[in-house]
Amino acid sequence: MPVIPSSALGLPTLPQDTATSARPGALRMNEPSEADPLIARAAAGDQAAFQQLFRQHRDTVARVVHRFLGPSHELEDVVQEVFVHVYRSLPSFRGDSKFSTWLYRLTANVTKMHLRKKRSRPRFADVPVPETREDSPQERPDDVAERNERVEALYRLLDRLAEKKRTVLVLHDLEGLAAKDIAEIVDAPVLTVRTRLFYARKELYAALAEEPALASVVARFLDELPGRPAAEAEDTSSERASKGART
Amino acid sequence: MSKLAALLAYDAGLLSDEGARRVERALARSAQVRRELASARAAAAVLGDVGPAPVDWPRLDVGLAAALAAEQTFGEARAATAIPPLDLTRLEASLPRAIATARATDALLGELGVATSVPSSIPSFDADRLEARLMAALATSGAPAQDAREAGHADAAPANEALPTGRSALARIEGGGARRPAADAKEAIAWRALLAYAEDTLSADGRRRVEAKLARSAAHRDALARVRALARASAEAIVAPTPDVSSVELPLRREVRRIAARRRMTRVGLATACLAAAAALLLLMTRGAPEPEPVATRPTPVAPPAPTFVAEARALDAEVTAIAGAAFAEGVDDPLGLGDRLLEGSVIRVRGALHGRLAEGTGLVLDGGPTEAPRRRARPMVDEAPEAALRLERLREDRVELALLAGRVSNEVRHGTRYVVHAGPYAIEVRGTRFAVRREGDVVSVQVDAGTVAVLEGDEEIALLEAPATWRSHPEAAHAGAAERPRAASADAPWPALRLPASRFVWVELDGTALPAAGGLAMRAPPGEHELVAFDDRGLRHRATVTLRDEGQTLDERELVPERLSPRRGYLPPEVIQGVVQPRVSALRRCYERSLRRTSPDLEGSYTLRVQVGADGSVRGVRVITNGETPPPFVRCLELEAETWVFPRPEGDAALSFDLPLAFAARGI
């Protein structure tokens, strides 16, 4: 997903590192080697080793779950569920894939199950988006509120995507994984991943206008584009001409 | 061109046997053909080196060659080969990179001295041409979104795997075949072109072309704006910091311990089964041949070891005894209702309040937090109420374990019950008490109203609280407030249900239980007469006397009548009231002493005397308000005594009422 500079668009500037943090790249889990004794010990039921494994990976798992769920007070529950699954399934982890890939897959699956359950449940009132990092003091509260609104709107649109498409889009555009890695995580050919990504984006492009917070961003970007469509320009000039003729 | 395509196809192993033989014959005959194959392989190798990710280059090259040599198709090579599915999407995605690498390749090949033949004979690496084709597709396609709508894709996305493959893909990208599929592929290309433009990976010429297209087409401008807007929203979503989840560690550790224990139990079970099998085998082996007198000499069978059952304690028969607002058990669509079972392992989420009976004498109240004084005035509506969430980790006879996720849980615990409330990194353990725990994020506060509780962090006991006591994990933490008493925690038999549907009332009180009422409520209450007090959103009190029968009852809000308000209220200065009451307190004390002597030797406690004074200053009514059991003769004595009081005429010539707090102990007032 291209990262567009926000200057001159009237949108608040994003903190510097966000552009780079979202770039597609290699899996960013804290990668232990496959022969990591910690994994072996945890798999054998060593609870202290498992605790250490949790500490190593909790931030990554929390980040991925957060990317999937968006603002949610259920984050902790889901993260815990992920690690309970990790503990249960570790004995069956044979090291066929990288541990990070395995963990990503498990996280994605548990989150998917959670989202599935959530869809069949009535929603309580919206959860406020947590305050953004403290190191952007230049942001006005209004800007923060507007951005939160946009983020919530984005997640509402994501809620409408089919599960598989959502997974690929979140992992690629939000988590910044490369299609090759995603293919391994979702156990599908790279081609399929790209296709899902393409259709996911396309659906989102089409739906953007339905969320006022995002439609206004589209409108602003539209205004910023150089030149004007000839047809429009002609229309306006002919309107002017006809007005002139009348006067 | 067809010769080169055939060579590429040959290299990629795509030719039929007959095709391959023909290529090999050509290779054997012509040095020029051999040179061309070598050049093509060099180009492929260079491309392979340049590409950042391992890519199936031979296959891709064939695809590129095929796609871009639209008018010079594979010809005889195609006729002789079965063309495998093409990675059309990948092909498109790698176009910008292909452009860059092709340029690098051209330069490199030039340096290697093979430029003379290769650039002219491998048009697939002609960057300008590649881009021109991309732009042509863009120019002839409709706007991406528009096309999608026309093709009926806006609502139903095509199946993920329904990709253009094989011959049809080739036909599409070549612009041949049916118009509709070609439009589909062109639409994809148009999106790619816009993405490439937004990512700034196009050449200056490419940019100019896209911009020219944008200037002409409002639909393309709209599409580009959408591409940018989505990118922008995604970037903003990434900025949101990930919440800290370190508090998960403790509950996780408990869960893991439990799983580990279960695993051990399974292993014990297996071992027992093995022992039993071995014993049975032993029995067979020692039996030997039948004896002459079987009855007398039958060997005593070796009893297999008794199976060791590590039986789980019996699950508690826990149920909802009062509910106000909305409450759900996670994973269940229907809201929780009165009498619903509370199941071990479930997570209960409440906006409002939920009372539950866990066992005889043990119950809980889950709500968002204590209400502020003066309470029962205008309360927020139910969907604005803070959410409380509780996981019922263990509901068994030997132990009750709850994990408070948010809000407050008030607990009444029968003496001897093992009962733990986990809240964030803390665990609050009790044995017979009444207490409340409140959690906001990781900040936890506890109030103990009766008995003793211990606060643990990890395995370490960090506080021992004896009632009355409060404890907070953080100095700023909000107080847990007095523990609400769970309804019907000690009911011998299920009480009937009293229901009040959603109404204009925001708060209802019955027998000391206060519940938010805006979203409707239901609660268990003993059969008989009850006085129900309800507050509307203006803080106005309403009352109803309800006679609850065994089959339960649903109240109509019209049955609650507002307390009569005096149009004007009189006023008496406190010192005037005191002047009248003080000399007569000794008479009240006599009531107490009489009761001590005659009926209730243990009588002591706090009472409130609510006195209504008429416009003329005479006492019109007296009520004794108490939250415990009070002997009726004592109450009557107090009332009779107070009714004799006479006050000066109130200011404003109107009635008034005031509350007089009294405390009696054996020493006197």
Alpha-carbon distances, residue B32 vs A27, B1, B28, B43, B497 (angstroms):
46, 14, 10, 16, 97
Task: Verify whether the Cβ–Cβ distance B233 to A203 is below 8 Å.
Answer: no
Residue B511: CA atoms inside 13 Å, Cβ hemisphere, count? 17
Of B199, B214, B406, the CB nearest to A73: B406
Of B163, B228, B328, the CB nearest to A221: B228
- Least Cα separation, residue B213 to chain A (angstroms): 9
Q: Is the pLDDT of residue B76 over 50?
A: no
Question: Worst-scoring range by mean pLDDT, A156-165, B7-16, B494-503?
Answer: B7-16
Q: Which residue of A has its CA nearest to B149?
A: A206
Q: Is the pLDDT of residue B119 over 50?
A: no
Of A2, A45, A120, the CB nearest to B333: A120
pLDDT band, residue B281 (cuts 50/70/90): very low
Using an 8 Å CB-CB cutoff, list chain A residues near B144. 202, 205
Of A178, A198, A214, the CB nearest to B89: A198
Q: Are B327 and B349 in contact (CB under 8 A)?
A: yes
Of B225, B231, B241, the CB nearest to A2: B231
Using an 8 Å CB-CB cutoff, list chain B residues near A57. none
DSSP state at residue A170 = I
Buried b (16+ CB within 10 A) or exposed e, A182-218: bbbbbebebbbbbbbbbbbbbbbbbbbeebebbebbb
Looking at chain A, the whole-number percentage of residues with pLDDT higher than 90 is: 12
This prediction's pTM:
0.39
Mean pLDDT (chain B) is 70
Q: Which residue of A has its CA nearest to B158?
A: A199
pLDDT at position B1:
39
DSSP state at residue A90 = G
Query: What mean pLDDT do residues B373-398 have?
Result: 68
Task: Verify whether the Cβ–Cβ distance B405 to A4 is below 8 Å.
Answer: no
pLDDT at position B185:
58
pLDDT band, residue B150 (cuts 50/70/90): very low
Task: Verify whether the Cβ–Cβ distance A79 to B223 is below 8 Å.
Answer: no
Residue A65: CA atoms inside 13 Å, Cβ hemisphere, count? 31
Residues 6+ apart with CB under 8 A from B85: B163, B165, B166, B169
Query: What mean pLDDT do residues B154-182 have?
Result: 34
Residues for chain B: how many in total?
669
H or E element at residue B345: none
pLDDT at position B564:
61
Task: Verify whether the Cβ–Cβ distance B90 to A221 is below 8 Å.
Answer: no
Q: Is A45 exposed, middle or buried (0-12, 13-18, 19+ CB in 10 A)?
A: middle
Of A45, A132, A203, the CB nearest to B239: A132
Residues for chain A: how many in total?
247
Ordered DSSP codes for B47-90? HHHH-SS---HHHHHHHHHHHH-SSS--THHHHHSPPPPP-HHH
Task: Verify whether the Cβ–Cβ distance A151 to B237 is below 8 Å.
Answer: yes
Residues 6+ apart with CB under 8 A from A159: A115, A119
Give the whole-angstrom CA distance, residue B592 versus residue B597. 9
Q: Are A154 and B237 in contact (CB under 8 A)?
A: yes
Q: Is the pLDDT of residue A120 over 60?
A: no
pLDDT at position B341:
86
Q: Are B496 and B546 in contact (CB under 8 A)?
A: no
pLDDT at position A239:
45
pLDDT at position B118:
32
Using an 8 Å CB-CB cutoff, list chain A residues near B148. 202, 206
- Least Cα separation, residue A139 to chain B (angstroms): 13
Q: Which residue of A has its CA nearest to B194?
A: A2
Of A117, A191, A229, the CB nearest to B221: A229
- Most confident option among B245-254, B418-427, B517-526, B595-604: B418-427
Using an 8 Å CB-CB cutoff, list chain A residues near B389. 73
Query: What mean pLDDT do residues B63-88 have?
Result: 36
Task: Verify whether the Cβ–Cβ distance B237 to A76 is below 8 Å.
Answer: no
- Least Cα separation, residue B362 to chain A (angstroms): 27
Q: Which residue of A has its CA nearest to B329?
A: A121
Task: Verify whether the Cβ–Cβ distance A75 to B243 is below 8 Å.
Answer: yes
Task: Verify whether the Cβ–Cβ distance A208 to B260 is below 8 Å.
Answer: no
Dihedral over Cα of B636, B638, B641, B647: its sign: negative
pLDDT at position B41:
66
Question: Is B325 strand, coil or helix?
Answer: strand
Dmax (CA) for chain A in angstroms is: 89
Which residue has better confidence, B659 or B87? Answer: B659
Q: Which residue of A has its CA nearest to B385?
A: A125
- Return left, alpha or beta for A244; rule: phi > 0 is left, psi -120 to 50 is alpha, else beta: alpha
Q: Is the pLDDT of residue A169 over 90?
A: yes
Question: Worst-scoring range by mean pLDDT, A202-211, B290-299, B591-600?
Answer: B290-299
pLDDT at position B39:
65
Task: Verify whether the Cβ–Cβ distance A47 to B191 is below 8 Å.
Answer: no
Number of Cβ within 10 Å of residue B549's Cβ equals 10
Q: Is the pLDDT of residue A89 over 90?
A: no
Q: Are B570 and B613 in contact (CB under 8 A)?
A: yes
Q: In the beta sheet, which residues pair with residue B457?
A: B426, B460
Of B218, B231, B236, the CB nearest to A229: B218
How many Cβ contacts (< 8 angstroms) between chains A and B? 227
- Least Cα separation, residue B150 to chain A (angstroms): 13
Using an 8 Å CB-CB cutoff, list chain A residues near B243. 62, 66, 75-76, 130
Query: What mean pLDDT do residues B205-211 have?
Result: 83
Task: Verify whether the Cβ–Cβ distance A202 to B191 is below 8 Å.
Answer: yes
| ipTM of the complex model | 0.75
Give the whole-angstrom CA distance, residue B663 versus residue B669. 6
Give the whole-angstrom CA distance, residue B18 versus residue B13. 12
Preceding peptide of B468 cis, ω within 30°: yes
Q: Is the pLDDT of residue B379 over 70?
A: no
pLDDT at position B421:
93
pLDDT at position B478:
79
